[in-house]
Amino acid sequence: MDSLGSTIKQLREKQELPLRTVAAFLDIDQAVLSKIEHGHRKATREQVQQLAKYFKADEDELIVAWLSDKLAHR
């Protein structure tokens, strides 16, 4: 299973969206989103839910990846 960060990056790149566009949607700095994508920072549950809606992705799949990341990096 891919990490949440790599999944987000894949979704973003598939839709050919720059970091700044997705970061603006989340109302966060693009550096923060980059850190989330690279696994240096954790997204909040709310951000994961917003991303699922933004990318029209399966919210449950993203939540599972988010929870897996939380357990793996305890």
Question: What mean pLDDT value characterizes the chain?
Answer: 94
Q: What is the CATH number of the domain that holds 63?
A: 1.10.260.40
**Count of domains for the chain:** 1
Sign of dihedral through CA atoms 51, 57, 58, 62? negative
CB atoms inside a 10 Å sphere around CB 55: 20
Range of the domain at 22: 4-72
What Å distances lie between residue 55 and 31, 41, 48, 73, CA to CA? 19, 20, 11, 25
User: Is residue 5 within 8 Å of 66, Cβ to Cβ?
Assistant: no
Q: What pTM value is reported for the model?
A: 0.88
Q: Say whether pLDDT at 73 is over 80.
A: no
Tokens, residue 35: 């850190």
Q: What angle do CA 23, 31, 52 make, to 5 degrees?
A: 35
| Position 48 confidence tier, pLDDT thresholds 50, 70, 90 | very high
